[in-house]
Amino acid sequence: MAEGGCFCGAIRYRVGAEPVSSGICHCRTCRKIASCPMLPFVVFPADAVTFTRDEPVEFRSSPLVTRTFCGRCGSPLTYRNDKVPGRIDVMTCSLDNPEAFAPTFHVWAGEKLEWDVISDGLPAFRTTRTEGQRI
């Protein structure tokens, strides 16, 4: 069981399953969403995530992707891709204990900022893990 929420506390959620995977995304969209050079995420079964206080705002960041965030403080919370309907990505740093979910790979490293040096030794993929080449 894991719990988390937004910065201001308006939205809370609970996760009732073990993670499927955990990574760091370097794509341009995630960078813009989070206003930072990369965005760590933890993938869970979609039905394992339950919002327990208020509901986040949803928006489509691309034709297949729905993201959620707090409508009050703006904290990014989740990411869902229609290509993988049974999964949901939770933004790692929105968890109460983000240390419990260390990343194991990097995705979209082909779009990373030049000064964003990946030096942690984790596998880095040019795009996705399933479609991308390792860098």
Question: What confidence tens digit (pLDDT) does each residue in 65-86 have?
Answer: 999 999 999 999 999 999 999 9
The residue behind tokens 């904290």 is 75
User: Which residues of the chain are modeled with pLDDT < 50?
Assistant: none
pLDDT at 47: 97
pLDDT at 52: 98
Let me know if domain 2-111 sits in CATH 2.170.150.70.
Answer: yes
Give the count of alpha carbons within 13 A of 128, CB side only. Answer: 6
Answering whether pTM is above 0.85, one says yes
pLDDT at 131: 76
pLDDT at 134: 83
Task: Give the residue extent of every domain in the chain.
Answer: 2-111
